[in-house]
A and B are shown apart, each in its own frame.
Chain A
Amino acid sequence: MNTIKQNLPSPDALFPYLGAVLLILGGSYFFPQILGVDYLAQQLQIAAFLGVLALGATVVILLGHIDLSVPWVLAGAAIISTSLVGSGNPALAAAAIPAALLFGVLVGIVNGVGVAILRIPSMVWTLAVNSMLLGVAVLNTGGFNPKGEASPAMTLLATGDLAGIPVAFVVWMAVTGAMALLLKRSGFGRYLSAIGYNEKATFLSGVSTPSVIFAAFAIAGLCSALGGVMLAGYANQAYQSMGDPFLLPTIAAVVIGGTSILGGRGSLIGTVGGVLFITLLTSILSVMQITDAWRNIIFGLIIIVMLLLQTLRRKSQ
């Protein structure tokens, strides 16, 4: 049968993997413990938190939008799940994870309505949604870290280990696989790219573009919430502004993975590489025991260099 050639992952998506390998090799020259199984397994576990968030971000960025509500969807999901567990009521505790994920989906749909129906730039609308969520959280918790704790299931998700492989990593890979399947098998992935490149032409091709946008933001909300649940499991608590440090690295990971911030072009596989790269970079910089200042400087410079390499490669084609 004569089907259309499936696109192989673009070289852009392979860049971060190459970078990650170089980081490990270069780092191990100074710190031999980096090559140890324990260290690497720990990196995979830590990468999983960022990784789950970045999957959601990829879907939204492919669409040509951005989701700045990640921090407080994450924190909100963490607060909801830990409070339900902390309530002591077994029924409520059992509902902790589903409730948190549902919360993420609902916020995602609110994001989608602003973007697809009211046509507000996603950067602004999701920022406003984020600050409203912050407000709700402050109102409910009184500005203190909410009481509560993680359920055993949440702890397992975050810190468990399956024949030496961190459960968090397994979860991350499972979500990646499910999402890759969704993008490939249904038209969803095609629609995302098409809208990212040209929403008007996609609409005129008879595609219900608002539904696609709702779905994309709902998926992103779900991913942020899952990230929140896992982080709460990791820390065995929720705390204010636990999501703030994740927003920019998430976007950086997606972009380093070869996804265009303008939408249309990109891949999940690249994002996974980008997450590994960012996680290793952050980790090695902290192993090096240098000051915060230099960590920031080196982080910034390496991101710029990675992006410049992408540009150079495309130019040389």
Chain B
Amino acid sequence: MSRSEHPIARLRGVSKIYGTTQALSDVDFSCFGGEIHAVLGENGAGKSTLMKLLAGVIQPTSGDIEVNNAVTRLTSPADAMVRGLVCMFQELSLVPDLSVRENLMLGAVGTGLGRLNASVVRSAQDILAQIDGGAIGMKTRVADLSLAERQQVEIAKALTRNPKLLILDEATSALNASVVEKVFRLIRAERDRGVGVLFISHRFHEIESLADRISIFRNGAHVETFDNGAYDYSAIISKMVGQRIDDLFPPKPPANPDAEEVLRVDGFSWTDKLRDISIVLRKGQITGLGGLDGQGQGSVLQGLFGLLKGTEGRCVVGGIPVTITHPKQAKNPKLGIALVPEDRKTEGLILQQSIARNLELAALGTDGIDASDVTIYQPFLDALELKCRSLDQPVGELSGGNQQKVALTKWLALGPRCMLLADPTRGIDVKTKTQIYALLRRLADSGVAILLVSTDYEELIHLCDEAHIFYQGRIVRHLTGNDVTAEAIIAASLNIPLPAQTSEAANG
């Protein structure tokens, strides 16, 4: 590992202002070749703004960006790419209606609007093969890929652009641990070739294992840069948050397996995606659904919320058998089911509308609730510490974490008996996570049954009272109490027997 002498890119006194929001203030920041540089910070700390500046998506309000020691105006992503600054964006930059192959060729080095060059496809295929993506068909439409596959393609695409500085913004959020490890191997190899890597992730253990240096951002300012290992976990967290956070997860009360049943499904099946699923949700319990991405956990939530046609099996809510065919029926106080969908930007919220309008949309038209009365939302907003100028602010202007708070609150005002949550903390900062965890536990204590899909096994272990692990549309293991361990979850996710040491063999 040899760090380059001069920084590849350097920000000097850079500020970025959106309307009245100061996204970055007077930031000095350098990234060098031959080094993996992690950027940490809460949502809204300015990480994404930093990335967008370096990628040429936006331009600074004041201050200079230097590339290879020369002050440069990066006017567009194309311009940045020519200078070797290649970004893999958190909002995916793949075109859904084009095939994988076409996406790889789009905007490839030296192409522009001219003749397409197929050679990048071959090198991208090599890269994909190294990160378990060899099976991805080049002619497949990107829209038909899973989120994880899209991220793999995205990584391959970025690497074929000959980066001098590779910027990865939440590049691995949907990938499972074994693929992440392979991606890291690739990133380390790039680093060893002298490429600079700028890495944003919310998964702290990833940063710990990958980064050479770490920079902390808070409230749009660059707080500190230090070598990995210089501080321990809690010190870093407190630098990020500006205060100490003692425990990520709220204390777990003893599980009560005999609590009153709120919802029960028996032999629930749907096309070839779900097979014979049986789950019982009890009052005050948080039930987790784990497993690799896309094994059917999400479909269970959709089925319970009336989004799937042609489901089989029995569904009992509050002791009464029901067939749920529409979200409107699901949210009716008789059933009292709420779903916080996976993609808050396109499914959970209407970004262009104000916070107030978003909050009232679910409650509107429900008997006995005055949806336009903000006081019914206020306790939840207070508990989650929503940060906004006013409730008339468009949701799209909020940070991801604050958006998720709105997406949760709009359902809480209905007083649901059963909350279905699809990975509610994906891509969300630590502090917001603790707030959401605390709220979920409080809701459970107040008698709500919670069903939580999560790809983060820490959540299954520390937040959930029990967990069902999915593999290829089936529940392969039901873990309760002290059996909910990392080893058990990982083994079940790969559908291999305990002990977990055999996981290598199962992969091969």
Contacts and interface: CB of A to CB of B under 8 A. Distances in A.
Contacts of B388: none
Contacts of A208: 326, 328
A203 B352 CA distance: 16
Nearest to A210: B326
Contacts of B362: 205-206
A4 B327 contact: no
B373 A2 contact: yes
Given A2-B373, A2-B374, A4-B356, A206 B350 contact: no
B388 to A, nearest CB: 13
Nearest to A265: B352
Contact of B365 (A187, A193, A264, A265): A187
A139 interface: no
A200 interface: yes
Interface string A267-308: 000000000000000000000000000000000000000000
B410 A205 contact: yes
B22 interface: no
Q: How large is the interface on A (under 10, 10 to 19, 20 to 34, 35 or more residues)?
A: 20 to 34
Contact of A4 (B305, B328, B360): B360
A207 B227 CA distance: 52
Contacts, number: 78
A198 interface: yes
Contacts of B392: 4-5, 7
Nearest to B352: A197
B482 interface: no
A190 interface: yes
Given A3-B374, A4-B374, A200 B326 contact: no
Interface in B248-292: none
B347 A194 contact: no
Given A204-B327, A208-B326, A264-B352, A190 B373 contact: no
B328 A206 contact: yes
A206 B327 contact: yes
B373 A207 contact: no
B11 interface: no
A204 B347 contact: yes
Contact of B328 (A2, A3, A5, A207): A207
B331 interface: yes
Contacts of B346: 198, 200-201
Contact of B350 (A1, A3, A4, A197): A197
Contacts of A205: 327, 331, 361-362, 410
B13 interface: no
Interface in B354-390: 356-357, 360-362, 364-365, 371-375
B361 A190 contact: yes
Contacts of B364: 187, 190-191, 207
A206 B374 contact: no
A167 B72 CA distance: 67
A202 interface: yes
Interface in B4-39: none
Contacts of B350: 194, 197-198, 201-202
Contacts of B353: 193-194, 197, 264
Which 4 A-B pairs give the minimum distances between C-beta atoms?
A206-B331, A4-B356, A206-B327, A187-B364
Given A197-B350, A197-B351, 5 more contacts: A2-B373, A207-B327, A207-B328, A207-B364, A265-B352
6 contacts: A7-B392, A203-B327, A204-B339, A206-B331, A207-B364, A264-B353
